[in-house]
């Protein structure tokens, strides 16, 4: 099984044997102090939200139609964006991890650009391409009479643009960590490239794909800058939760904004925790 | 476990991300703006002015003139939607002067006890229908905006230009569904400049400032929704003397002349 010819098998890790687990160490104080400080830094603002929340008027505020509409729209668009990212991002990750082509480093760098690009700039960039006067958008509008800005599809596009790198990076990492010999074995047994991909590679990296999808979904759910710039802000069509939070703060209703933020936070924590227990830890 | 926390924090932080506009410093100009008016010697140090987005061009000019008249002074601006500015001030932002595009946002600052004295109206502004250069869609009146397929940007009702738009539309009994509610008047204008919308209800001054790209269509109903612009020195102003001098300069003949040139009406 290991004699596939020209490949050097000695450098590969043996399949089936997990890396030796490290024994629990005593944490040095030099690491513990900043670690706790970092934890506090991340958790305190969330605590601030909880403390500041107007608990008495909470039930009434939660059932306001505006809040529920925005929440539904957020969940729908984030899920749709994640599906788009899975369909396009997994093949892209495979390309980066498995295929050899010139300029691969550059492609990888380009894929991660949305991570460092300010989302507002991302939104402007999307407008310049998909807007009514954009490079592709003008053609779309002239041919199909369809333009993306100010539509729910536009929100999905903005979210997918910002969230896809998270998925690609996670899946590419998983692919690189996966043992390529299973794929080679499938190939020697006569499986085609597509069959190998769907029956061997994908199941092998499923936990990585799931982790990436969750991360991608969470990023899409919180997307603000690209959405408001590219898709605009209209209740029920493009106003997702983060936009509703922003508009509520702008309107001077701090309590309302805190409530909306808490809802978003609770929903995302609940879903992330649920998914994590189901998929990720089983890896 | 750590990564879950990080993810949760990421979501929360992004949700709360607010676009805090960067301050815009005015360069010093050697143009002789001295003479009568609000220029008084002894005004030094920096003055931080929080001003409505619609004041961007005129206040930048006034700031430059003020600096020329008071060589020791430096004016720094924070231009944004009036409601955002009022929020920032009430949350303790270190500002000297607040110039709002509507009395309502000013009132939230005075109600919170953050104003020093009574706000004074220094300008008034009126809405126009801004359309692309050459008016390709032939918009002539407010009712034209309800035409199917015509995309319109309005300001959100929380900001003064949005409140004025709602008032004008209600007065005219025009039922309009915009494609977007922008957070300040400049946002609505840039959607028009980018060609994403066919029309936007903005102030006459904003349309005039963007005259290279847009054209203004006046409509009679806007007379019923004129916005008063109040200005006030803030209670916690780090530089109260200079703040008072700046407010006096805005209200002086020189200041008023800059404002009227920009398309504002005198109070």
Between CA A146 and CA A148, with CA A147 as vertex, the angle to 5 degrees is: 130
Q: What are residue B266's phi and psi, to 5 degrees?
A: -70, 150
* Contact by Cβ (8 Å): A112, A169: yes
Q: What percentage of chain A has pLDDT greater than the value 70?
A: 88
For A30, A63, A173, A245, A260, the CA distances from A263, given in Å and listed in that order, are 37, 11, 32, 10, 5
* Contact by Cβ (8 Å): A168, A93: yes
3-state secondary structure of A238: coil
> What is the structure's pLDDT at A67?
85
With 90 as the cut, is the pLDDT of residue B232 above it?
A: yes
Q: What is the mean pLDDT of chain A?
A: 86
SS3 content of chain A, % helix, strand, coil (to 5): 70, 0, 30
Contact B182 A276 (CB under 8 A): no
**Residue B185 labeled ligand binder:** yes
Q: Measured between beta carbons, which residues in chain B are less than 8 angstroms from residue A232?
A: 153, 179-182, 191, 196
Q: Which residue of B has its CA nearest to A269?
A: B8
How many whole angstroms separate alpha carbon B241 and alpha carbon A188?
85
How many whole angstroms separate alpha carbon A215 and alpha carbon B8?
10
- CA nearest to A132, candidates B151, B185, B153: B151
With 70 as the cut, is the pLDDT of residue A282 above it?
A: no
pLDDT category, A18, cuts 50, 70, 90? low
Q: Measured between beta carbons, which residues in chain B are less than 8 angstroms from residue A224?
A: 14-15, 17
Mutate to test the interface with A, among B11, B104, B199 (most CBs of A within 10 A): B11
With 80 as the cut, is the pLDDT of residue A246 above it?
A: yes
Between CA A80 and CA B129, with CA A239 as vertex, the angle to 5 degrees is: 130
How many CB atoms lie under 10 A from the CB of residue B2? 10
With 80 as the cut, is the pLDDT of residue B231 above it?
A: yes
Residue range B32-50: mean pLDDT, rounded: 65
How many CB atoms lie under 10 A from the CB of residue A212? 29
Q: How does pLDDT run across A165-217, given as a tens digit for each residue?
A: 999 999 999 999 988 888 889 989 988 888 998 999 999 999 999 989 999 99
How many whole angstroms separate alpha carbon A205 and alpha carbon A211?
10
Fold that domain A74-238 belongs to in CATH: MetI-like fold (1.10.3720)
* Contact by Cβ (8 Å): B167, B224: yes
CA A228 centroid distance within chain: 18
How many whole angstroms separate alpha carbon A87 and alpha carbon A160?
11
> What is the structure's pLDDT at A24?
63
Contact B156 A149 (CB under 8 A): no
Q: Give domain limits for chain A.
A: 74-238
Q: What percentage of chain B has pLDDT greater than the value 90?
A: 67
Q: What is the mean pLDDT of chain B?
A: 84
With 80 as the cut, is the pLDDT of residue A54 above it?
A: yes
> What is the structure's pLDDT at B27?
37
Contact B196 A133 (CB under 8 A): yes
Q: Measured between beta carbons, which residues in chain A are less than 8 angstroms from residue B179?
A: 149-150, 232, 234
Query: Which residues touch A17 (CB under 8 Å, ≥6 apart)?
Result: none
- Count CA atoms closer than 13 A to B146's CA, side-chain side: 9
CA distance to partner chain A, nearest, from residue B34 (Å): 39
How many whole angstroms separate alpha carbon B14 and alpha carbon B151?
29
Q: Measured between beta carbons, which residues in chain A are less than 8 angstroms from residue B158?
A: 247, 250-252
**Is B183 in the A-facing interface, judged by CB distances under 8 Å?**
yes
> What is the structure's pLDDT at B124?
94
With 60 as the cut, is the pLDDT of residue B89 above it?
A: yes
With 90 as the cut, is the pLDDT of residue A251 above it?
A: no
Contact B83 A221 (CB under 8 A): no
Query: Which residues touch A146 (CB under 8 Å, ≥6 apart)?
Result: A140
> What is the structure's pLDDT at B224?
84
- CA nearest to A90, candidates A3, A166, A179, A25: A166
Query: What is the SS3 string spanning A69-105?
Result: HHHHHHHHHHHHHHHHHHHHHHHHHHHHHHCCCCCHH
A232: enclosing H helix or E strand:
none
> What is the structure's pLDDT at A19?
54
pLDDT category, A22, cuts 50, 70, 90? low
Q: Residue-wise over B194-225: b if at least 16 C-beta within 10 A, else e?
A: bbbbbbbbbbbbbbbbbeeebbbbebebbeeb
Q: How does pLDDT run across B110-144, given as a tens digit for each residue?
A: 999 999 999 999 999 999 999 999 999 999 999 99
With 90 as the cut, is the pLDDT of residue A2 above it?
A: no
Alpha-helix runs per DSSP H in chain B: 2-16, 56-69, 82-90, 103-111, 160-171, 185-193, 204-209, 240-251, 253-261
Q: How does pLDDT run across A222-243, given as a tens digit for each residue?
A: 999 999 999 999 999 999 999 9
Q: Name residue B216's beta-bridge partners.
A: B130
pLDDT category, A139, cuts 50, 70, 90? very high
Q: Name residue B84's beta-bridge partners.
A: none
Contact A272 B158 (CB under 8 A): no
> What is the structure's pLDDT at A21?
55
Q: What are residue B14's phi and psi, to 5 degrees?
A: -65, -40
* Contact by Cβ (8 Å): A238, B180: yes
Q: Which residue of B has its CA nearest to A276?
A: B4
Mutate to test the interface with B, among A146, A155, A252, A255 (most CBs of B within 10 A): A252
CA A206 centroid distance within chain: 15
Q: Greater confidence, B219 or B19?
A: B219
B220: enclosing H helix or E strand:
none
> What is the structure's pLDDT at B7?
44
Contact B13 A228 (CB under 8 A): no
> What is the structure's pLDDT at B3?
44
Q: What are residue A94's phi and psi, to 5 degrees?
A: -60, -45
User: Could you report how far apart the first and last alpha carbons of chain A are, in Å?
Assistant: 25
> What is the structure's pLDDT at B122?
96
Q: Measured between beta carbons, which residues in chain A are less than 8 angstroms from residue B8?
A: 46, 265, 268-269, 272
With 80 as the cut, is the pLDDT of residue B242 above it?
A: yes
Q: Is the dihedral of CA B82, B83, B88, B92 positive or negative?
A: positive
**Residue B203 labeled ligand binder:** yes
With 70 as the cut, is the pLDDT of residue A278 above it?
A: no
Radius of gyration of chain B (CA): 20
**Residue B58 labeled ligand binder:** no
> What is the structure's pLDDT at A137?
92
With 80 as the cut, is the pLDDT of residue A131 above it?
A: yes
How many CB atoms lie under 10 A from the CB of residue A203? 12
DSSP label of A145: S
With 60 as the cut, is the pLDDT of residue B147 above it?
A: yes
How many whole angstroms separate alpha carbon A58 and alpha carbon A104?
51
User: Could you report how far apart the first and last alpha carbons of chain B are, in Å?
Assistant: 61
Size of interface A-B (CB pairs under 8 A): 123
16-75 in B: which are within 8 Å (CB) of A? 16-19
> What is the structure's pLDDT at A279?
57
Contact A242 B14 (CB under 8 A): yes
Residue range A80-97: mean pLDDT, rounded: 96
Assess: ipTM above 0.85: no
How many whole angstroms separate alpha carbon A200 and alpha carbon A9?
20
* Contact by Cβ (8 Å): B51, B79: yes
Q: Measured between beta carbons, which residues in chain A are less than 8 angstroms from residue B183?
A: 228, 233, 246-247, 250
């Amino acid at each position: 099984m290991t004699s596939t010819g020209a490949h050097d098998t000695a450098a590969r890790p043996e399949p089936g044997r997990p890396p030796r687990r490290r024994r629990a160490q005593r944490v040095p104080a030099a690491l513990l102090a900043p670690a706790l400080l970092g934890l506090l830094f991340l958790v305190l603002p969330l605590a601030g939200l909880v403390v500041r929340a107007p608990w008495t008027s909470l039930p009434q505020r939660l059932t306001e139609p505006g809040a529920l509409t925005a929440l539904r729209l957020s969940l729908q668009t984030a899920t749709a964006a994640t599906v788009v990212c899975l369909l396009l991002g997994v093949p892209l990750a495979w390309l980066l991890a498995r295929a050899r082509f010139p300029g691969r480093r550059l492609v990888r760098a380009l894929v991660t650009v949305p991570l460092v690009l300010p989302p507002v700039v991302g939104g402007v960039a999307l407008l310049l391409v998909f807007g009514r006067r954009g490079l592709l958008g003008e053609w779309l509008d002239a041919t199909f009479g369809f333009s993306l800005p100010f539509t729910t599809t536009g929100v999905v596009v903005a979210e997918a643009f910002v969230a896809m790198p998270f998925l690609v990076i996670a899946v590419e990492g998983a692919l690189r960590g996966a043992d390529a010999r299973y794929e080679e074995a499938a190939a020697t047994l006569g499986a085609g490239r597509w069959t190998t991909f769907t029956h061997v590679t994908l199941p092998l990296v499923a936990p990585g794909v799931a982790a990436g999808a969750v991360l991608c979904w969470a990023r899409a759910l919180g997307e603000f800058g690209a959405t408001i710039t590219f898709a605009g802000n209209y209740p029920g069509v493009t106003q997702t939760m983060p936009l509703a939070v922003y508009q509520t703060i702008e309107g001077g209703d701090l309590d309302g904004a805190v409530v909306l933020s808490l809802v978003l936070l609770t929903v995302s924590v609940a879903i992330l925790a649920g998914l994590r227990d189901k998929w990720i830890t089983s890896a | 476990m750590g990564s879950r926390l990080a993810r949760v924090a990421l979501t929360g932080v992004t949700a709360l991300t607010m676009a805090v506009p960067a301050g815009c410093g005015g360069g010093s100009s050697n143009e002789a703006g001295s003479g009568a008016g609000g220029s008084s010697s002894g005004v030094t140090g920096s003055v931080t002015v929080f001003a409505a987005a619609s004041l961007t061009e005129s206040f930048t000019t006034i700031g430059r003139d003020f600096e020329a008249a008071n060589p020791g002074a430096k004016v720094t601006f924070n231009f944004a939607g009036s409601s955002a500015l009022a929020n920032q001030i009430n949350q303790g932002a270190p500002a000297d002067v607040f110039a709002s595009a509507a009395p309502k946002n000013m009132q939230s600052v005075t109600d919170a006890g953050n104003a020093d004295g009574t706000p004074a109206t220094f300008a008034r502004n009126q809405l126009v229908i801004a359309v692309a250069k050459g008016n390709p869609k032939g918009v002539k009146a407010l009712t034209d905006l309800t035409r199917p397929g015509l995309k319109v940007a309005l300001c959100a009702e929380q900001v003064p230009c949005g409140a004025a738009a709602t008032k004008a539309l209600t007065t005219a009994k025009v039922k309009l569904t915009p494609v977007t509610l922008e957070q300040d008047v400049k946002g609505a204008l840039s959607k028009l400049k980018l060609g994403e919308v066919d029309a936007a209800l903005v102030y006459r001054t904003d349309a005039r400032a963007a005259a290279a790209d847009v054209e203004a269509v006046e409509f009679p109903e806007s007379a019923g929704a004129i916005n008063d612009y109040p200005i006030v020195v803030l209670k916690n102003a780090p530089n109260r003397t200079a703040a008072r001098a700046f407010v006096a300069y805005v209200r002086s003949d020189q200041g008023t002349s800059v404002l009227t040139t920009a398309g504002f009406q005198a109070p």
